[in-house]
Amino acid sequence: MSGFDETLLEEADEIVRVRFVVNGRKVACEVAPRETLVDCLRNELELTGTHAGCEMGACGACLVQLDGRAVHSCLMFAVQADGAKIETIEGLTESGVLADLQAEFHRRNALQCGFCTPGMLVNAHELLSLVAQPSREEIRDALSGNYCRCTGYEAIVDAIDAVAKARSEGGGAT
């Protein structure tokens, strides 16, 4: 082996230009490869609804939708998401798909300090799109990667359960 080929690093010191469709809008950002997607969303695009918590994939505060699936934006680099379609809590809120979940979280005080709420909503939204009528056990199982430091789990599970029932009865505000 002849040592590290320094020509590989020609791009390294440069900032890389990445393009996404975020919340339905085409955007371009200039990032260093080491910049995580959550930092890019918050710092470059000023979409601060996505929260950086543990930055280890354990707490779930940073969940966003990437190409339609919930992912930890702290567990990928922005360069990896180049070309992807991303929905953050801001976009999901504007589109109204979460309106009934948000109303129910509010009604039941399922958001206390609110820090975990964006991730909880992204997760709950995906769960209800995959399983129309999850049991409470399935809801808890799906939320196992989302930490609420105020321990609001009971109210959060209640809210998701109530929305699932309302939607299946045709009363959901979707």
Asked if residue 3 binds other proteins (CB under 8 A), the reply is: yes
Closest to 32 (Cα-Cα) out of 22, 23, 43: 43
**Residue 60 and residue 55: Cα distance in Å, rounded?**
9
Amino acid at 76: M
Residue from 2, 25, 26, 170 touching other proteins (CB under 8 A): that is 2
> CA dihedral in degrees (92, 95, 99, 101; nearest 10)?
-30
CA 124 to CA 138: how far, in whole Å? 11
What is the per-residue binding string for other proteins in 13-42, x denoting contact by CB under 8 A? ---x---------------xxx-x------
Give kind and range of the element (H or E) at residue 123.
helix 117-130
Rounded to the nearest whole angstrom, what is the least distance from the CB of residue 116 to other proteins in the complex? 13
Query: Which residue, chain included where needed, has tokens 């979280």?
Result: 105
Residue type, 60: G
For other proteins, which stretch binds (CB under 8 A), given 57-65, 92-100, 109-117, 148-156?
A: 57-65
Closest approach, Cβ 171 to other proteins, in A, equals: 26
Rule CB under 8 A: which of 83-142 touch other proteins? 123, 126-127, 140-142
Residues touching other proteins, count (CB under 8 A): 41
Q: Which is nearer to other proteins, 69 or 106 (CB)?
A: 69
Rounded distance between C-alpha atoms, residue 75 and residue 37, angstroms: 8
* Pair 77, 38: CB distance under 8 Å: no
Minimum Å gap between C-beta 63 and other proteins is 6
Tell me which residues touch other proteins (CB under 8 A).
1-5, 7-9, 11-12, 16, 32-34, 36, 55-57, 60, 63, 66, 69-72, 74-77, 79-80, 82, 123, 126-127, 140-142, 144-146
